Structure 1
Amino acid sequence: MEDVNNHIESKRTVFVTVGTTSFDSLVRTVDSDQVKEALLEKGYTHLVIQMGRGSYIPKKSSGEDGSLVVDYFTFSSSIADYLRSASLVISHAGSGSIFETLRIAKPLIVVVNEDLMDNHQSELAEELAERKHLFCARPQTLCQVIESLNLDTIVPYEPGDANPVAKLINKHLGFPAD
């Protein structure tokens, strides 16, 4: 790969993950010309989509015409390498994907799947966005979130103190606050 791209330091990859779920509306949105153009304008060069069980197949692109290089796959035994090499992560709202990305301090846009019933994941994503650890979007607002993206506003997530998350979970489950 380095032979193909002599300017490897200029490679800026956006990694999209839906985990083990099906989240076609997210995959379809990141595959749209509008979102790909917004990513290009922000200086990103590559888009790698982990599409899970989804049925929507994104369009691959070699990027020869100045567009994003686009690739996709369904599953991987570990997405850790993809996360580490990413300049930006766009993820479903699964807590595992969120915290794995925050732990390695990668900029993160969490896209909430509004098709899920009793969507507790959106509460976690919105709480972490309020604390400025990540950005939160819906499929229909993702392009606007990318266009207004300011990575300088991110507050690094400090793992270790689980109390705020535990309180949020307890509140959601109806347990009294401490």
Structure 2
Amino acid sequence: MLAFVTVGTFQFDALVDAVLDPALLKALRNKGYTRLVVQYGLYQEPNAPTEREGVQIELWPAKPSLSADFERADLVIGHAGAGTILEVLRLGKPLIVVPNPTLLHNHQTELANALGEYLSTSSVADLAATVDAFDAANLTKFPAFDGSRFRAIVDSEMGF
């Protein structure tokens, strides 16, 4: 199984360090994950082995799109950016978010809390324990996109 980690376009060194920590890799392996792919963003290229604790590790800084990586993943761990959250939840993938507390007004925590029934939230310090306890069956399925609701709002505002 494959776990995919993304920090997005910002720097979130603490998350990169946490997912490469042996405790987290053991937790992933205990859950049956044998591959870990990490998109590390602006982090200076991590010095990490290609295998640790029985997990194959692949690292890269950025791509124009993460869609294919999200689709291949059995679990996504990421920063709590709105784009990442919505794309992963719309794909129906299990998601653990780690809000980056260094960003403006800690808005990622607010978003993660608002969507808490659809995803799991963790701090960097608790990530290994969160992965160890994670059960996607306990999450509510994210509702499918309904364009008619948006259209109704626009129509109402336009006076149609």
TM-score (norm 1): 0.78
Deviations 1:114-137 (A, max 9, x none): 2223011111101211xx200001
Opposite residue 127 of structure 2, the aligned amino acid is: L
Partners in 2 of 1:58 and 1:153 — Cα distance? 35
Q: Please give the residue correspondences for 1:83-94 in structure 2 after superposition, counting only pairs within 5 Å.
A: 83-94=70-81
CA deviation after TM superposition for structure 1 residue 149, in Å: 0.7
Partners in 1 of 2:78 and 2:47 — Cα distance? 16
Partners in 2 of 1:21 and 1:68 — Cα distance? 26
Identity over aligned pairs, percent? 35
Structural RMSD (CA): 1.6
Contact 1:13 1:87 in 2 (8 A): yes
Q: Give 5+ residue unaligned stretches, structure 2.
A: 148-160
Larger RCO: 1 or 2 (CA < 8 Å, sep 6+): 2
Q: Please give the residue correspondences for 1:105-120 in structure 2 after superposition, counting only pairs within 5 Å.
A: 105-120=92-107
Contact 1:60 1:72 in 2 (8 A): no
Deviations 1:82-106 (A, max 9, x none): 0000000001010000000001000
Aligned to 2:134: 149
Contact 1:31 1:58 in 2 (8 A): no
Q: Please give the residue correspondences for 1:120-135 in structure 2 after superposition, counting only pairs within 5 Å.
A: 120-129=107-116, 132-135=117-120
2:97 aligned counterpart, secondary structure: strand
Partners in 2 of 1:144 and 1:56 — Cα distance? 26
Partners in 2 of 1:57 and 1:33 — Cα distance? 14
Contact 1:58 1:72 in 2 (8 A): no
Q: Please give the residue correspondences for 1:1-178 in structure 2 after superposition, counting only pairs within 5 Å.
A: 12-55=1-44, 57-62=46-51, 67-129=54-116, 132-160=117-145
**Structure 1 stretches of at least 4 aligned residues deviating more than 4 Å after TM superposition:** none
CA deviation after TM superposition for structure 1 residue 58, in Å: 4.6
Opposite residue 115 of structure 2, the aligned amino acid is: L
Contact 2:101 2:108 in 1 (8 A): no
1:40 aligned counterpart, secondary structure: helix
Deviations 1:9-48 (A, max 9, x none): xxx0000001111100000000000000000001101000
